[in-house]
């Protein structure tokens, strides 16, 4: 989540030069090469079962293809912090789908913590006059990203029990790159070849590819396998916290007292959401 929080800042920097589709295409190209070279060096190539082809294709359609389209256009039309806040609504929807698709359950404590954390997200989203200042089209793009991420997590849960995390992400990024290639050639290629990027932009795109499209997704896959879809996605509430802090120091976004209160609620709710009933009882008894 720390790496994904930083990704909104790196994307905002890259958007100063490139269009969203170009950024995604470069990001996936570098990530795919990085992951397949890593698989080769580690000898981790696996054989995909014929019955799992559909799972890989559907997971890649939702993420990286649809998710990255929504996220990048959302950042372009709003701001890194607003985008991160809306992406953090994923935990509200993931448990509902996980309940119906995977029969995962959440306790009352988990749900209360999730709501507290989301309330902190809302506080961070509003300005000082408690009104929303963001492009409706940008918000729509980000909601597409949220819906895609929720659907993706279901497919990821199924794949994570059959294949290694690095192999899953490598295949998904390769499929995503294939889906983006015709879109890139038709819509962005002519603009792409006219750009002379700075070192800051190049380093930002490389960081997006290696840290965010590769390492962060591998870690997320491991977490999904170990603690499930619902609890893993709750951690998405940390993304706007990291993005808010990074945006303040790197690109000068405002980090006022209202946002700090929101950050406190996000972290507190996240902690509460991870408690088990037995652990909560021990804490209460200890304080008593």
* Chain segment 171-208, per-residue pLDDT in tens: 999 999 999 999 999 999 999 999 999 999 999 999 99
For the chain, what's the residue count?
288
Give the separation between CA 148 and CA 68, rounded to whole angstroms: 9
**Helix residue ranges, H only, the chain:** 2-14, 20-42, 53-60, 67-77, 80-87, 90-102, 108-125, 136-160, 165-187, 189-192, 199-207, 216-227, 229-234, 239-250, 257-273, 277-287
Give the separation between CA 67 and CA 110, rounded to whole angstroms: 26
Helix or strand run (H / E) with residue 26 = helix 20-42
Residues 270 and 238: beta-carbon distance below 8 Å:
yes
Residue 133: the pLDDT is: 61
Mean pLDDT of 140-148: 93
Give the predicted TM-score (pTM) of the model: 0.83
């Amino acid at each position: 989540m720390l790496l994904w929080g930083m990704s909104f800042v790196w994307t905002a920097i890259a958007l100063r030069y490139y269009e969203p589709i170009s950024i995604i295409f470069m990001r996936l190209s570098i990530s795919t090469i990085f992951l397949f070279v890593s698989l080769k060096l580690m000898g981790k190539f696996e054989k995909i079962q014929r019955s799992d082809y559909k799972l890989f294709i559907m997971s890649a359609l939702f993420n990286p293809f649809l998710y990255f389209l929504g996220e990048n256009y959302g950042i372009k039309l709003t701001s890194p912090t607003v985008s991160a806040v809306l992406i953090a609504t994923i935990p509200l929807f993931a448990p509902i789908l996980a309940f119906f698709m995977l029969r995962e359950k959440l306790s009352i404590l988990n749900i209360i913590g999730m709501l507290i954390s989301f309330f902190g997200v809302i506080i961070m989203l509003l300005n000082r006059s408690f009104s929303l200042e963001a492009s409706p089209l940008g918000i729509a793009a980000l909601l597409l990203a949220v819906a895609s991420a929720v659907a993706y997590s279901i497919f990821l849960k199924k794949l994570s029990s059959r294949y290694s995390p690095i192999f899953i992400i490598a295949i998904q990024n390769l499929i995503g790159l294939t889906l983006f290639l015709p879109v890139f050639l038709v819509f962005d290629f002519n603009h792409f070849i006219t750009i002379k990027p700075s070192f800051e932009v190049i380093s930002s795109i490389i960081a997006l590819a290696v840290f965010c499209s590769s390492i962060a997704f591998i870690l997320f896959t491991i977490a999904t396998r170990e603690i499930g879809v619902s609890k893993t996605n709750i951690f998405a509430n940390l993304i706007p916290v990291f993005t808010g802090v990074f945006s303040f120091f790197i690109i000068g976004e405002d980090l006022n007292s209202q946002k700090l209160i929101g950050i406190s609620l996000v972290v507190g709710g996240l902690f509460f959401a991870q408690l088990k009933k037995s652990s909560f009882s021990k804490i209460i008894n200890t304080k008593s």
